[in-house]
Structure 1
Amino acid sequence: MTISFELKNYLLKNGAIEVGYADIENFTPKKDLNTGIVFYITYPKEIIKNMKNAPTKEYVEELVSLNTRLDELGMKCEEYLINKGFNAYAQTKKRLGTDFGEFNSFELPHKTIATRAGLGWIGKSALFTTKKYGSALRLSSVLTDAPLKIGTPILKSQCGKCMECRNACPGGAISGKEWNYRLKRNEFYDDKKCEKYALKVSEENLGKADTVCGKCIYACPHTQRYIKKS
């Protein structure tokens, strides 16, 4: 049994919905940790189903819960690999903090590793997207030097002509331009417009200004198929 197989099973047993491995040698922020492990947990269908007038209190509570669970899973993954004799660094929310830089993005975003692992692509909403779950998920990642079997990268969008997320965005943050791995996020998506609208709508819906919205998650046709499945 390979370390790739063992680790994936370990993460799935501890709550991950999907796991992938990526070659990050050319852009790792940690010297010699050239492989990225990425995993995600999905939002419960019922919470997303009720997000037509997003954001909702239940969505925000679940977002916080998922972040906590993902951080815990990241630390378990790091510990597992270190106990096996490898070096590892979990990119937890707690460690990375809230300083996302100029464009509200980490140095090596989880979703970059996820596309390189072949788990999905970046939607026009700038959210990581899969055919099975749409954007109704949250990601985390771990960097390591373990010899893992890497996936086949997805290097361009699979959104096609769909504009559902753009049409659902009252803040005008989504240009409708398709992502590819060469594009920087600010070339097809305006995080400042997203933030401005999110502060307004969260104040209206939740009674407290926050940078949460979720309308684009709900609008994605792949998300809709996920929440309608029995």
Structure 2
Amino acid sequence: MEQFKQELFALLRAHGAVLCGAADMSEYSMEGLGTGVSVAVPVPAHVVEDLKTAPTLEYRDTYQRLNRQLDEIVTAGADFLKDRGFRAWACTLERMKKDENWCVPIPHKTFAARAGLGWIGKSCLLVTPEYGSAVRISSLLTDAPLPPDRPVTESRCGGCTQCVDSCPGQALQGVLWSAGMPREALLNKEACKEAQLRRMEEATGLHVDLCGRCFAVCPYTQRWLRSQL
């Protein structure tokens, strides 16, 4: 099945994914779909660089465009699997709507960490070695027995507090993540949302909860930006 997995990953990359991984998700199994596939696409470097100052309309538009692209990627992956006799469920934006507490049945970043793409930073966002947090992510579930990639179970943030110190809402607790940790240990969700709404409205006039400063200042993100700008 390793070759089959690589064929699937090649398809996902052809649709725009830059990172792909497979995960054992059996403990979260939805109707017997115990294998997860995680994908990531990068946020353009110039868009991320601007976020250190303020959120922008271009970031809002990019955010929405990448979400649509991710839906297309995971749908193509699910179709690939179903065409070969497996069951598959694309975790599209429509299917994974957040509730009033910003919760979904299985967060995409849980898929990503278990699939080896990265860890959850002090920002409460996925951090990848290659792109930092300058990625958007999505997932699919399947019953295809894909060999899992090595999960990431501990933070690699060390003593860094760049995101914590830069958060305009003082919403980050500065705690090192480990697998299974509740979101509330890392993030004050209400403080984060209030700051996002305030900053976006001040910068663009839109009442939209987007900010991005925490991931823009991440040293892993900054390393990637330096390679691009």
CA contact (8 A) 2:17 2:39 kept: yes
Q: What's 2:16 paired with? A: 15
CA contact (8 A) 2:38 2:140 kept: yes
Is the aligned partner of 1:217 residue 2:215? Answer: yes
Letter of the structure 2 residue corresponding to residue 19 of structure 1: C
| SS of match in other structure, 1:50 | helix
Alpha-carbon distance between aligned partners in 2 of 1:96 and 1:114, rounded to the nearest angstrom: 15
Q: What's 2:140 paired with? A: 142
Gaps of 5+ in 1: none
Displacement of 1:102:
5.2
Is the aligned partner of 1:151 residue 2:149? Answer: yes
Alpha-carbon distance between aligned partners in 2 of 1:78 and 1:96, rounded to the nearest angstrom: 15
TM-score between both structures, scaled by the size of structure 1: 0.96
CA contact (8 A) 2:18 2:41 kept: yes
CA contact (8 A) 2:51 2:211 kept: no
Alpha-carbon distance between aligned partners in 1 of 2:96 and 2:216, rounded to the nearest angstrom: 27
Alpha-carbon distance between aligned partners in 2 of 1:102 and 1:69, rounded to the nearest angstrom: 25
Identity value in percent: 38
TM-score between both structures, scaled by the size of structure 2: 0.96
Q: What's 1:205 paired with? A: 203
Displacement of 1:14:
1.2
Q: What's 2:64 paired with? A: 64
Q: What's 1:118 paired with? A: 116
Alpha-carbon distance between aligned partners in 2 of 1:65 and 1:53, rounded to the nearest angstrom: 22
Q: What's 2:43 paired with? A: 43
Where in structure 1 do 4 or more consecutive aligned residues deviate above 6 Å? none
| SS of match in other structure, 2:26 | coil
Displacement of 1:2:
2.1
CA contact (8 A) 1:23 1:150 kept: yes
Gaps of 5+ in 2: none
| SS of match in other structure, 1:11 | helix
Displacement of 1:62:
0.4
Alpha-carbon distance between aligned partners in 2 of 1:46 and 1:5, rounded to the nearest angstrom: 31
| SS of match in other structure, 1:36 | strand
Letter of the structure 2 residue corresponding to residue 142 of structure 1: L
Alpha-carbon distance between aligned partners in 1 of 2:5 and 2:112, rounded to the nearest angstrom: 16
